[in-house]
Amino acid sequence: MKITWLGHSAFRIDTAKANVLIDPFFTGNPSFRGLDAREAAAGITHILLTHGHGDHVGDTIALAKETGATVFANADLASWLGAKGVSKLDMGNTGGTVGFDGFSVTFTNALHSSAQVTEDGVSHSLGSANGLMLHFDDEPTVFHMGDTDIFSDMALINELHQPDIGIVPIGDRFTMGGAVAALACQRYFNFKTAIPCHYGSFPIIDQTPEKFVAGMEGTKTRVEAPEVGGSLSV
């Protein structure tokens, strides 16, 4: 399995059977510099979305049309994307699991909002915000937390799924900050590897993973903080 960070909360996960994009926010992403969106999305089979904010839906509509990838999102967001011309859609909601070739995805809870503001200035709710639990055939289990704060039911998520790899938002202001994210990882999970995200993209959120890295010192979890466009093999 190869995991590539594409800035903000966008990741690509490549396995023997699937090539998955999560929250592909490229256009307008200040941290997506020196990279090409089409190259980042080349050969993808699936696009998975944690929630409906623009910095997570990102380039989904254009990439889905160009690549033919299946888009997986909560039911409200999927319906909205369908109205925008996305034809290959699959949907679920919090607690539900959907199987694909080579992996399955379970929607977990996340403490956040989910909406889009249209051209008329009206905010339209796009369902719940979620984390995504990815169980791969013969590969590590990956938990992309989405945008969230810490919450005690993370312990139940860990009990049910026992994820090996955690993709953890740390930027503060719109999600938990680095110190709280480190507490969440230590108190509720047993990650072998933790990858911080949702930082360094906008001036009003934390620019580095330093607080998270410091908070994880002395734990058994290996923290990997690649440069944007960087990959790790697990």
Q: Alpha helices, DSSP H only, in 138-233?
A: 154-161, 178-188, 210-215
Q: How many helices, marked H, and strands, marked E, lie in the chain? A: 7, 16
State CA 72 to chain mean position distance. 12
What lies within 8 Å, CB to CB, of 175 at 6+ separation is 112, 147, 148, 149, 169, 181, 198
Expressed in angstroms, the distance from the first to the final Cα of the chain is: 6
Q: What is the pLDDT of residues 38-52, one digit of tens each?
A: 999 999 999 999 999
Q: Please report, for residues 61, 78, 119, the alpha-carbon distance to residue 68 in angstroms, rounded to integers and kept in the order given.
A: 10, 15, 27
Is 189 exposed, middle or buried, given 0-12, 13-18 or 19+ CB atoms closer than 10 A?
Answer: buried
Give the C-alpha separation, 201 to 199, whole Å: 6
Find out whether 97 and 104 touch, Cβ atoms under 8 Å: yes
Confidence of residue 184 (pLDDT cuts 50, 70, 90): very high
Question: What is the value of pTM for the model shown?
Answer: 0.97
| Structural domains in the chain plus CATH codes | 2-225 (3.60.15.10)
Q: What is the pLDDT of residues 85-119, one digit of tens each?
A: 999 999 999 999 999 999 999 999 999 999 998 77
Edge-first strand listing for the sheet containing 70-74: 89-92, 70-74, 46-48, 19-22, 11-14, 2-5, 231-233
- Average pLDDT in the 193-218 region? 98
Is 33 exposed, middle or buried, given 0-12, 13-18 or 19+ CB atoms closer than 10 A?
Answer: exposed
Name the average pLDDT for the chain: 97
- Average pLDDT in the 166-187 region? 98
Q: Which residue has the higher pLDDT, 176 or 120?
A: 176
What local confidence, expressed as pLDDT, does residue 57 receive?
98
Give the C-alpha separation, 2 to 14, whole Å: 5
